[in-house]
Amino acid sequence: MQMVTDSDRAAYAAARMAEFAARCHRGGLAVTPQRLAIIRALLAAADHPRAETIYAQVRREHPHISLATVHRTLETLCRIGEARKVTALHDSARYDGNTAPHHHVVCLGCRRIRDIEIPGVERLLDGRDDLGEFKLMGCALEIHALCAQCQRKPGRSNPKRLANRKQSIATSNHVDS
């Protein structure tokens, strides 16, 4: 698992930009200034931004870019493995430039998303632990919690309100066999 901290975000982004350009050239995908600006904005963000946030940032450099272009480019980045779509709590799509296997903690109050390491899961992912007869094919774990700021807000830590929200999430995540 590769956690990208704020201190190494610039180095990570530079390496990923080079990988992105090489992958585009190999796949016959044009490396346009707009695509570069979009992936640069995504890689610089630690907050798993929405397309609208990336659009607002990229538009400063490319005033004629459209929101539709940003959406299409983000979908292309996901398709070629340069980004991941995160749809925490069934909210609008958020995007993650860190494509290495990792997990998220999502605030039930403000819906902020943060990358998190979970040692037990990491042992499974790197092969130190096994699943018996099962072969690990992938893992995406999303922890639902309240951030410190939301815990301080009146009514945010109301156990009944949180139980209702957690039940709503559990019901919408249930899949019948």
- Per-residue pLDDT, 5: 65
For residues 5-19, average pLDDT: 78
Q: Do the strands 142-145 and 84-86 form a parallel or antiparallel pair, or are they unpaired?
A: unpaired
What is this structure's pTM?
Answer: 0.74
Greatest extent of the chain over all pairs of C-alpha atoms, in Å: 55
HSE (side-chain half, CA atoms, 13 Å) at 41:
25
Indicate the helix (H) or strand (E) that contains 96: strand 94-96
**What is the structure's pLDDT at 174?**
43
pLDDT in tens, 151-165: 998 875 555 555 555
pLDDT digit string, tens, across residues 108-117 = 989 899 988 8
Instruction: For residue 14, give the nearest of 36, 47, 46 by alpha carbon.
Output: 36
- Digit-coded pLDDT (tens) for 80-108: 889 999 886 767 899 999 888 788 999 99
**Confidence label for 132 from pLDDT (cuts 50, 70 and 90):** confident
Supply the mean pLDDT for the chain: 82
Task: Kindly list the distances between the CA atom of residue 39 and the CA atoms of 24, 27, 72, 165, 169, in Å, as whole numbers in the listed order.
Answer: 12, 17, 12, 33, 31
Q: In terms of pLDDT, which residue wins out, 140 or 52?
A: 52
Residue 155 gets the label, from left (phi > 0), alpha (psi -120 to 50) or beta, of left
Chain position carrying tokens 């798993």: 48
Contact assessment for residue 65 and residue 59, using Cβ atoms and an 8 Å cutoff: yes
On the CB side of 160, CA atoms within 13 Å amount to 1
The residue ranking higher by pLDDT, 52 or 10, is 52
The three-state secondary structure class of 86 is strand
Q: How confident is the model over 46-70, as pLDDT tens digits?
A: 889 999 999 999 999 999 999 999 9
Instruction: Give the pLDDT confidence score for residue 166 in this predicted structure.
Output: 55
pLDDT value of position 70: 98
pLDDT at 129: 78
Q: In the predicted model, is pLDDT for residue 72 greater than 90? A: yes
Sheet of 103-107: strand order equals 113-116, 103-107, 142-145
> What are the chain's domains?
6-87 (1.10.10.10), 101-172 (3.30.1490.190)
With contact defined as beta carbons under 8 Å apart, do 161 and 155 qualify? yes
